[in-house]
């Protein structure tokens, strides 16, 4: 275990002005607070916060963060209070330790909803101070390094959390070294066999390639010196998990990988990066399609480097990364890079020592995640969107005015539109990519110029959610869809209340509901209308709230109807679509006549189902029954099931067919057929239905006798006329004894 003076010396090596007294107090206090506590390995518990502090010292973090690391488990696992930490170490360190304590209580679990909700809380805590995240990642790294001492089930859970959340989060914060180690440690426990295979193969390659790597490095170094360029050339070996992931993604063997060994060339500044590139490309042949300039177009986590692949010395493919010293520090340490603290010291928030004064792209991305969770998505959606944002690589596209938009790989113009602005996405109707009209499902590529065509009358279709790649686009589409459904429920609720107000000789007005909102426990009139439309709030309760002194009306009797199949039908047209109409005159809504509420039937956002046995087809007289939380159930007027609703007249809605002639949708109907029991009978019946352009959905043999068979056939037909034509065709067959429709 590291000694007290060793930790202080390690921090002083990069920060001569370190507050040694602070670190000494934190060291002693934490050791005494944890006392005789033990870890699962049997080591003193204090060894854990000490190792976390050492990891952060390697990242060259400030003394307040090191002190917080030493103290990060004291409030959680000992009798220490926040007040004690504030008194002894100040409110800044107290805030960091308190933030980490809250996170420790929210350790993620495998249940998806709890995991998602806890991760939301984690990100909210982190956005108060980025150092909370840095300590949390160091804490997780040391736990992963000692994971072999945990039970098997616990090991797998922690490894999964690390691979899904912490490793990609470290990557998004630009901390690549920490990300790679977290991934490798997780890989070891999640897929031990694959980890051992790749590790063993790397050991074998390491020995055979030792001379080759030395020769390539010397050749590169000599060429740079020849051109008067001062650059440090080093080699690096790809991590086992990165190798395994690439083998899986490209379905290739380890021997086919050309970038197991790569070379970094670190220069003094960005201008030297391009000088190095010029020397390299004029000396050796570049591999087409393998050049990426992240210096002029940094990644979202501030990563900058030039990537290229050449056919270099010994005719080997050599992958090169060219970057300046500053770029290298950012690439390795990300938001933890010591340079950021120097920059932060001059910022507007420098007085309180917070790193938040440096608003890097990586930190802005983290804030963007928190904005997503504050927009009302449920926890599961948020976790899904977060993982999408964490795992995707990027493509860079441009607006017609030259604005750079960074998107995940595989993104479409739909994602681009929502990345520009939510309103742009919601009103998107088409796009031009590089001046050409292309479908909205087109996958965008680096450098594409995208122009979005808009229409304010348009709302995004729900199907877009399955096309969009970014979490922002998906959540916005889902919200727009919910809002569209809500508007339909509001319309339906307004119709229902108009009818209810008419029954008590009152005229519906919005102002009446506004006065009754408190009694109805709703915030807005639209909330009331939507609740009534969904069947969650009875119209009688609204009447009572709006007119407390009004005597309750006698329940209306169900009016008698003639149950004839075609009565009241306004014409058959071939498509799905219903329009609600109230019997008698339409009620007044805010002084205007209420229009019918058009919906699209079974496939509408407003749930509409044909629930009666035997179905319903255009030509039947139909009624709707409002079911709380489920929408509208459509029944033929002659359905026996309607008897159960005799005592609930307010749920009855007269509906009529309002059909679009261009549609090809079919409707359900059921017929009973009695046929002679002989070979070929079923084939003849099916042929008649097929010739009549009907569709058989299901057949059930209800009763079989020696000479006859009774069968129930579920059909899909255009309308009542179409159904009657099929029934007539069946009756004309000699093998058919009787045909009737099932009601």
As annotated, the active-site residues are: 76-77
Contact 134, 335 (CB under 8 A): yes
Phi, psi of 247 (to 5 degrees): -60, -40
Contact 400, 413 (CB under 8 A): no
Strands 317-324 and 306-311: antiparallel
Rounded CA gap, 239 and 177, in Å?
Answer: 10
Sheet strands side by side (includes 736-741): 695-704, 708-717, 667-676, 736-741
Per DSSP (E only), the strands in 282-336 are 285-286, 292-293, 306-311, 317-324
Rounded CA gap, 281 and 286, in Å?
Answer: 6
Rounded CA gap, 402 and 409, in Å?
Answer: 20
Q: What is the DSSP letter of 554?
A: P
Question: Which residues sit opposite 696 in a β-bridge?
Answer: 715
| Element containing residue 546 per DSSP (H, E) | helix 539-546
HSE on the CB side for 84, CA within 13 Å? 12
Strands 631-636 and 608-610: parallel
Of 107, 112, 119, nearest to 158 (Cα)?
Answer: 107
Q: What is the DSSP letter of 148?
A: G
Question: What are the distances in angstroms from CA 732 to CA 275, 550, 669, 672?
Answer: 90, 62, 20, 15
Which residues in 283-293 are b (16+ Cβ under 10 Å) and which e? Answer: bbebeeeeeeb
Percentages (nearest 5) of helix, strand, coil residues in the chain:
50, 15, 35
Contact 49, 73 (CB under 8 A): yes
Contact 603, 660 (CB under 8 A): no
Rounded CA gap, 85 and 96, in Å?
Answer: 10
From the centroid of its chain, how far is CA 515? Answer: 40
Phi, psi of 255 (to 5 degrees): -65, -25
Rounded CA gap, 341 and 350, in Å?
Answer: 9
User: Which 3-state string (H, E, C) describes 369-425?
Assistant: HHHHHCCCCCHHHHHHHHHHHHHCCEEEEECCCCCEEEEECCCCHHHHHHHHCHHHH
Of 729, 639, 661, nearest to 691 (Cα)?
Answer: 729
Contact 481, 460 (CB under 8 A): yes
∠36-137-395 over CA atoms, to 5°?
170
CB atoms within 10 A of CB 704: 11
CB atoms within 10 A of CB 321: 21
Question: Which residues sit opposite 580 in a β-bridge?
Answer: 597, 655
CB atoms within 10 A of CB 534: 22
∠592-596-602 over CA atoms, to 5°?
155
Rounded CA gap, 267 and 90, in Å?
Answer: 41
């Amino acid at each position: 275990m590291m000694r007290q003076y060793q930790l202080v010396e390690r921090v002083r090596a990069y920060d001569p002005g370190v507050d040694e007294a602070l670190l000494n107090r934190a060291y002693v206090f934490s050791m005494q607070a944890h006392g005789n506590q033990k870890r699962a390995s049997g080591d003193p518990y204090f060894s854990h916060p000490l190792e976390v502090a050492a990891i952060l010292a390697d990242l060259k973090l400030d003394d307040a963060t090191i002190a917080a690391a030493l103290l990060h488990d004291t409030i959680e696992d000992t009798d220490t209070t926040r007040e004690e930490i504030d008194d002894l170490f100040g409110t800044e360190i107290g805030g960091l330790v308190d933030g980490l304590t809250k996170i420790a209580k929210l350790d993620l679990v495998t249940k998806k909803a709890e995991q998602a909700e806890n991760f939301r809380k984690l990100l909210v805590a982190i956005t108060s101070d980025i150092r909370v995240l840095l300590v949390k990642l160091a804490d997780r790294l040391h736990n992963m390094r000692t994971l072999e001492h945990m039970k098997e089930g616990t090991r797998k859970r922690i490894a999964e959390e690390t691979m899904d959340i912490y490793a990609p989060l470290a990557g998004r914060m630009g901390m690549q070294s920490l990300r790679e180690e977290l991934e490798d440690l997780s890989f070891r426990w999640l897929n031990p066999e694959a980890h051992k295979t790749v590790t063993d193969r790397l050991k074998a390659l390491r020995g055979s390639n030792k001379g080759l790597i030395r020769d390539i490095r010397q050749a590169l170094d000599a060429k740079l010196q020849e051109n008067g360029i001062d650059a440090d050339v080093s080699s690096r070996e790809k991590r086992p998990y990165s190798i395994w992931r690439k083998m899986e993604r490209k379905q290739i063997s380890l021997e086919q990988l050309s970038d197991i060994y790569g070379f970094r060339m670190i220069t003094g500044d960005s201008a030297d990066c391009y000088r190095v590139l010029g020397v390299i490309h004029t000396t050796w042949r570049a591999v087409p399609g393998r050049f990426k300039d992240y210096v002029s177009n940094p990644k979202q986590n501030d990563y900058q480097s030039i990537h290229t692949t050449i056919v270099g010395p010994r005719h080997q493919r050599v992958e090169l990364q060219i970057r300046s010293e500053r770029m290298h520090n950012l690439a390795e340490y990300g938001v933890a890079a010591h340079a950021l603290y120097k920059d932060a010291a001059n910022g507007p928030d420098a007085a309180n020592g917070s790193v938040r004064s440096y608003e890097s792209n990586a930190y802005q991305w983290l804030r963007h995640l928190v904005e997503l969770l504050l927009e009302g998505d449920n926890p599961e959606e948020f976790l899904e969107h977060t993982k999408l944002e964490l795992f995707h690589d990027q493509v860079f596209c441009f607006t017609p005015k030259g604005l750079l938009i960074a998107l995940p790989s595989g993104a479409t113009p739909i994602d681009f539109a929502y990345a520009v602005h939510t309103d742009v996405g919601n009103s998107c109707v088409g796009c031009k990519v590089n001046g050409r009209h292309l479908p909205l499902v087109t996958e965008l590529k680096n450098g594409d110029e995208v122009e979005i065509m808009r229409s304010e009358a348009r709302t995004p279709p729900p199907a877009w959610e399955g096309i969009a790649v970014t979490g922002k686009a998906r959540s916005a589409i889902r919200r727009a869809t919910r809002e569209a459904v809500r508007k339909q429920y509001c319309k339906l609720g307004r119709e229902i209340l108009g009818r209810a107000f008419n029954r008590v000789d009152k005229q519906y007005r919005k102002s009446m509901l506004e006065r009754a909102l408190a009694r109805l426990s709703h915030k807005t009139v639209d909330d009331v209308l939507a609740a009534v439309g969904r069947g969650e709030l009875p119209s009688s309760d609204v009447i009572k709230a709006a007119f407390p002194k009004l005597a309750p009306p006698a329940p209306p009797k169900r009016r008698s109807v003639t149950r004839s199949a075609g009565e009241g039908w306004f014409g058959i047209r071939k498509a799905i679509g219903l329009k609600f109409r109230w019997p008698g005159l339409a009620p007044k809504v805010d002084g205007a006549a209420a229009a019918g509420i058009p919906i699209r039937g079974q496939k509408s956002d407003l749930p509409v189902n044909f629930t009666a046995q035997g179905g319903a087809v255009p030509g039947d007289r139909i009624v709707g029954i409002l079911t709380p939380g489920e929408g509208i159930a459509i029944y033929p007027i002659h359905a026996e099931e309607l008897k159960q609703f005799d005592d609930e007249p307010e749920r009855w809605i007269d509906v009529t067919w309002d059909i679009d002639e261009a549609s090809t949708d079919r409707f359900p109907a059921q017929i009973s057929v009695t046929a002679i029991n002989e070979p070929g009978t079923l084939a003849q019946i099916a042929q008649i239905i097929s010739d009549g352009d009907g569709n058989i959905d299901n057949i059930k043999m209800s009763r079989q006798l020696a000479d006859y068979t009774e069968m129930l056939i579920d059909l899909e037909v255009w309308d009542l006329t179409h159904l009657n034509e099929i029934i007539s065709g069946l009756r004309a067959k000699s093998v058919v004894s009787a045909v009737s429709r099932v009601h």
